Structure 1
Amino acid sequence: MSISAINADAFVTEALEALKVWGIRDSAGFPTSTNASGEIAMPFWSSEARAKRVVETVNAYKNFEPVPIELTTFAEKWLPGMQKDGLLCGLNWSGERVTGYDLAPSDVLAKFMAYRP
């Protein structure tokens, strides 16, 4: 299993455990990024520590701050809004190049619904 797959699985389990996800925001709002396929994704992390690590180590995100989002708000408002806007959901992006899995919001919601500890 790749690091990206491990991080995507951790996103689901950790977010369900904490009942929140983390985005990052600066004065202009929440960032998006175009992936190698030309699709636009918005990144989220399953812990404050993961989000902080990206802010502290990736120059492009140095002016951003981690922001908690309650899981119910994320599932009921963010994911449907992202689906409507044609955005993918970046799951626990990490590393120097801030990479990871980008899934359709409906697929992220399905992962939450299908999770069985």
Structure 2
Amino acid sequence: MLFITIHLVLGPTTRGLLGENDLRRMRRSAFLINTSRAAIVDQTALVKALGEGWIAGAGLDVFEQEPLPADHPFRKLPNVLALPHLGYVSESNYRIFSGEAVEDIEAWLNGSPIRELQ
């Protein structure tokens, strides 16, 4: 078994990075895991790859349309594990997020923000 995971930011150089030719070159025993952004992988090609058995399966946490429409092929393919964009959720992540949110609010109220968007 081979697992290929995608961990990229979506941008001009990563949009459509994995296309039909790339999926065809993968091993039939390979699983594609995408928890980054759906547009990094050509979604039409991925449906075809999964439906025709070019790859063994996919674990997906991101979709072109969220929530995933009820009639989308990813919901019907037996070799797809689809999560509702919650793959990152854990007790420790929420503890960190909550703590940082409180820190941000307190710092902003004190006139010295610690995390600013650039």
Answer yes or no: same fold by TM over 0.5. Answer: no
Task: Identify, as 1 or 2, the structure richer in helix.
Answer: 1
Q: TM-score, normalised by structure 1?
A: 0.27
Over alpha carbons, which structure has the higher Rg?
2
Task: Identify, as 1 or 2, the structure richer in strand.
Answer: 1
Q: TM-score, normalised by structure 2?
A: 0.27
